A and B are shown apart, each in its own frame.
Chain A
């Protein structure tokens, strides 16, 4: 925990301090990411805004292809190639990442913002030992002798709960179990004390019994290191466990954004309702089958006009015209909200009357 302090900007130089610079630690403003493919333009992320403070956890929830991972890779600066176009702003600790040079972003990557990937087996190089891979991550940002880096790797493995870290440091990834590999992956991403940790479905590839351990570990480490955490998942149970705030994504856009408490207790978007309803509940009697959201996620090349959720929304008839023509959007300044045309009062009423009894 060294070298991290509040950046002091001289007040006299007002020209270098435009009012647009956000004060949040991470501030994403109107992020748009499009991929050029042979079939057309894929709007993977289409106008997304959110913010996150140090020490807080944001859960990004949505179906496959809703733009969750694309968003996280944008923050990491890991989109490469001529087929990707990014616009908008990503402010991380006062630095804007989209307009920064690739080399500037590379220097931040792994030190300022780090990432845990979904499948720890395929995410580690099979030819190098766990230790070598952690040491490499440390030495990429710290000019230290191999011995120091190695000790650091052992300490980190020890910290994430690898038994006999001193000997296991020389094991190869295939000699670790799935849960141990994810622990090692976490050790690798935390080795540089990053301020922001992005966990992209960190428990999806793991045994259920191990999932809870990994989530506990992430929570403990966050408390210890004080990092901001973004946890990306389609598993509402995971975010319920960890997140302070939740951003629900659909078709590359945010549809509902608010505190975890609010999203779980008083969700207002029909899509969020659908997600909650399709979640198995152990504390209720098994009465019926789970209720999936009807239909399929939209193509990101031909996003439905108006509200992208309208073809699957059970309330579209009731509400009428604007759903099919006008795009509802979350506030662009990254404050909480609901992207839905149903008036707020009616939404709350609908939730109480029709949704709560079915949960």
Chain B
């Protein structure tokens, strides 16, 4: 088990390195291959009015003509140890992990990301709890009562849930519950949990439900299919043959087995969401990573995009690592292979 975890950890670190190489290549190598000169790259870092000399000077300063491994080394060092930028009279230190400074706001990217991470985490964690509990419960009940009115109704709603986009359900929820009925705060409301936990939850209820609806629908369908298959397994018959009560058979023997694929997908979904719940954050104007990413892309704000990409990749790798380890805890057969 320890060896398995170590192997996974090493694999995760290697993967992070590969992601950093690929990200570097996308942002700095691909434009060169496409024909951009060092000056073209540098032009993104200076104002539009800069003359050729300024561009040349900037390109030199940022080292766009250096050999690739030197450029990557500088990029990687910035991520791990931070970087120093000379602004003429003073030297500015950009602490690790350094993605650079926003072209628009001139702020370093990382502290901004950290600020927004709280919002995204609040959104993702709350929604995840709701969709797991609701989705899995409905899936199990549907499977046990296959073909019943409950099953048909639940699966109908679930089909709607996976089919309707968030910007539709979100806007609908906002217009009904926030603007017409006034039960919940309007879009853009967010209070940090450290300030006022009650207000935090109250502000996030609509985004949570909207996001959870989509995922709960998918999870209900998935759980139902998994349970239906599992309850026909031979070991379920064995469990019944022992004379166990039906609830034990369903939960301990059936659900435990059926949940394995759910755990995998849950980890990946959560990892993906932590990299930014783009649609939900945009619909509810929540200042999270997703909204940050959208702003960065629309403004062609390269360092910010770089930061979001690396952060998203980090969360997905982390989620995969946790899924792999959880898998080994759940299924003893995994530990050996």
Contact = CB atoms under 8 A, between A and B. Distances in A.
A281 interface: no
Interface stretch (B122-130, B188-196, B240-248): B240-248
A123 B240 contact: no
B332 A123 contact: no
B244 A140 contact: yes
B243 A140 contact: yes
Given A78-B237, A119-B234, A125-B257, A174 B242 contact: no
A241 B245 CA distance: 36
Q: Name which of A127, A137, A188 has the most chain B CB atoms within 10 A of its CB.
A: A127
Contact of B332 (A106, A109, A127, A137): A127
Nearest to B333: A174
Given A172-B332, A174-B332, A122 B243 contact: no
A115 B241 contact: yes
A123 B243 contact: no
Interface string B105-131: 000000000000000000000000000
A111 B253 CA distance: 20
Interface string A173-214: 010000000000000110000000000000000000000000
Nearest to B256: A127
Nearest to A174: B333
Contacts of A61: none
A180 B76 CA distance: 55
B244 A136 contact: yes
A333 B244 CA distance: 33
Nearest to B257: A127
B234 A123 contact: yes
A263 interface: no
A329 to B, nearest CB: 31
Interface in A114-136: 114-115, 117, 119, 122-127, 136
B234 A110 contact: no
Contacts of B238: 117, 123-125, 188
B331 A114 contact: no
A106 B333 CA distance: 31
A333 B234 CA distance: 34
B239 interface: yes
Q: By CB atoms of chain A within 10 A, which of B235, B237, B242 has the most?
A: B242
A140 B233 CA distance: 20
B330 interface: yes
B243 A127 contact: no
Q: Which of B233, B240, B256, B331: most chain A Cβ within 10 A?
A: B240
Contacts of B237: 78, 117, 123
Contacts, number: 68
A64 to B, nearest CB: 17
Contacts of B241: 76, 78, 109-110, 114-115, 117, 189
Contacts of B235: 122-126
A107 interface: yes
A105 to B, nearest CB: 9
Contacts of A189: 241
Contact of B233 (A76, A106, A122): A122
Contacts of B256: 127
Contacts of A236: none
A70 interface: no
B255 to A, nearest CB: 11
A172 B243 contact: no
Contacts of B242: 109-110, 136-137, 140, 188
Contact of A78 (B233, B240, B330, B336): B240
A141 B245 CA distance: 11
- What 4 A-B pairs come out closest when comparing CB atoms? A110-B243, A109-B243, A122-B234, A137-B242
18 contacts: A76-B241, A107-B243, A109-B240, A111-B243, A114-B241, A117-B237, A117-B241, A124-B235, A125-B257, A127-B256, A127-B331, A127-B332, A137-B242, A140-B242, A140-B244, A172-B333, A174-B333, A188-B242
